[in-house]
A and B are shown apart, each in its own frame.
Chain A
Amino acid sequence: MFDLKGSRAVVTGASGGIGRSCALALAASGAELVLFDIHAERLEDTAEQLLDVGCRATVVVGDVTSESDRARLSEVTLDGGAPDVLVNCAGIIKRQDITTMALLDLDVLWDVNVRGTVGITQSLLPAMIQAGRGKIINLGSLGSVTGLDRRTAYATTKGAVALYTKSLAREVGQYGICVNAIAPGYVDTSMTSEWILGDSMRTEQLLSRIPLGRFGRPEDVDGLLIFLASAASDYLTGQVIMLDGGWTTT
């Protein structure tokens, strides 16, 4: 029920953090992989780690904000047929004061987090529609739902990703395609560790709001990801699922 043998999955943002962990989990469940990221060297590292678990991934180096890079990814991917799974994990964060936030920050984050997600999806969606099946999994955030202080641009773009997820789910359900978002809380990655661990007072405050009593690890995402990528979730769509150690209950 949770098996992915014979499935093909595309993972963007696969060079590190949650994206790399997603790639490893998909491979461990038997999926074939196409990896996409702007960081060539770290992406190769991911591919090498995958070799260790017996998965020879196709690597495409590119930028989710570039139309020609997206076209290249889709060409390489569709060579092997429509993908069964698309994981839109590429994303960036910037922290700023709301009063002095540069509006350019909003543009930069919007480009990667929203236009990137929408553009990548659009480039692969027609093939998935034609195949009449597919799982699209977007990486949202706790902030998709709660908003985030001093991370206004990030939370705004992740809110957009959540609404894109729901809108897309409504539109492509008729083709048997499920679209959901994983909304992690505070997961310790290179993108977040300075924020969550860099100031002991803040660390303590954050931990005090996590009933499970610890920050998340990238591997905590694996189970939900595989569930959403597999046939076990064939009637589950349009959901933004919190993976937050219970944060949203406090």
Chain B
Amino acid sequence: MDIRFTNSRVLVTGGGKGIGAAVAEAFAEAGATVGVHYHQGREDADQLVERLTARGLAAFSLGADLTADEAPSNLVKDFVKLAGGVDVLINNAGGLIRRSPVEDTDDALFRDVVQLNFGSAFAMTRAVIPYLRANGGGSIVNISSVAARTGGAGNAVVYAASKGALTTFSRGVAKEVVADGIRVNSVEPGLIDTAFHANTTPSAFQTMASGVPMGRAGRPADLTGAVLFLASDVHAGYITGQSIGVNGGLWVD
């Protein structure tokens, strides 16, 4: 089985580094035209695009702060203008911002975390639905987190709750748009070795990794199979509203 996205236009938010970059690269390799969205990491996104285009693959970068009011709908418009349409949206942008116990989390931090991890995916989804419907269908894959299940690691409860909202949002919106031929699913990565854990000491990270039944942390490339599979109407056409954990056995429920 070969999953191809020839003639597909795929927009990956937060696509310049980590999981997003691996996913963007895999879609480009599968023949898609890929929009690599970034916010702060312009250099990473541009370097990725350069690497991909040097291999004859189709990719370009787009900058936007997805927590700003009009930014998500403008991003979708810009992508459609450049790519000639949109078929697949990968809502990957997100982050911890910073760790904080609930009692010390002020309203501003709460809003920022929810806005980054859930609000941006909500607004992107809202903006992309009319375009997908006009195409006669399409697919959305949301990159949630194992934290949606566990409630989060220390001092990251709001992050976890916002990922929980994202997983629930995926299930719900899947039903709302099913008649338009649009499928919506989510992937919940476990412990993945990316800059997300930049503030964890190597020995603490190693301790966490050795507790995973598969005996290692995941790599960004470990996520690409699940994302491409779920995005494919040909191969996952009977799956919608689901979330798939990719966590090496760290969390099974």
Residue of A nearest to B246 (CB): A236
The listed residue (B171, B172, B218, B236) touching A224 by CB distance below 8 A is B236
| Given A173-B214, A174-B214, A238-B213, CB of A212 within 8 Å of CB of B240 | yes
Verify if B215 is at the interface (C-beta below 8 Å from A): yes
Q: Are B175 and A246 in contact (CB under 8 A)?
A: yes
Distance, CA A114 to CA B176, complexed state (A): 37
Verify if A153 is at the interface (C-beta below 8 Å from B): no
Contact residues in A for B212 (Cβ distance below 8 Å): 173
List, sorted by A's number, 27 A–B pairs whose CB atoms are closer than 8 Å.
A2-B2, A169-B213, A169-B252, A170-B249, A176-B214, A211-B241, A212-B240, A217-B238, A224-B235, A224-B239, A226-B235, A227-B229, A232-B224, A232-B225, A233-B246, A235-B214, A235-B218, A235-B222, A235-B223, A235-B247, A236-B226, A236-B247, A241-B244, A243-B238, A245-B240, A246-B240, A248-B242
Q: Are A1 and B252 in contact (CB under 8 A)?
A: no
| Given A176-B214, A237-B214, A249-B175, CB of A232 within 8 Å of CB of B239 | no
Within 8 A of B (CB), among A72-106: none
State how many residues of chain B have any CB contact under 8 Å with chain A: 42
CB distance from B208 to the nearest CB of A (A): 15
Residue of B nearest to A1 (CB): B225
Verify if A216 is at the interface (C-beta below 8 Å from B): yes
Q: Are A220 and B237 in contact (CB under 8 A)?
A: yes
Distance, CA A79 to CA B178, complexed state (A): 48
Distance, CA A170 to CA B250, complexed state (A): 8
Contact residues in A for B251 (Cβ distance below 8 Å): 238
Contact residues in B for A226 (Cβ distance below 8 Å): 1, 235
Q: Are A238 and B239 in contact (CB under 8 A)?
A: no
Contact residues in B for A237 (Cβ distance below 8 Å): 213-214, 248-249, 252
Q: Are B225 and A3 in contact (CB under 8 A)?
A: no
Contact residues in B for A235 (Cβ distance below 8 Å): 190, 214, 218-219, 222-223, 246-248
Verify if A25 is at the interface (C-beta below 8 Å from B): yes
State how many residues of chain A have any CB contact under 8 Å with chain B: 45
Q: Are B239 and A242 in contact (CB under 8 A)?
A: yes
Q: Are A233 and B178 in contact (CB under 8 A)?
A: no
Verify if A15 is at the interface (C-beta below 8 Å from B): no
Residue of A nearest to B230 (CB): A227
Verify if A29 is at the interface (C-beta below 8 Å from B): yes
CB distance from A228 to the nearest CB of B (A): 9
Verify if A250 is at the interface (C-beta below 8 Å from B): yes
The listed residue (A211, A234, A239) touching B174 by CB distance below 8 A is A211
Q: Are A174 and B226 in contact (CB under 8 A)?
A: no
Within 8 A of B (CB), among A1-41: 1-4, 25, 28-29
Distance, CA A205 to CA B252, complexed state (A): 31
Distance, CA A25 to CA B124, complexed state (A): 35
Which of A173, A216, A222, A243 has most chain B Cβ within 10 Å? A173
Q: Are A29 and B241 in contact (CB under 8 A)?
A: no
Q: Are A236 and B244 in contact (CB under 8 A)?
A: yes
Contact residues in A for B190 (Cβ distance below 8 Å): 235
Verify if B3 is at the interface (C-beta below 8 Å from A): yes
Verify if A230 is at the interface (C-beta below 8 Å from B): yes
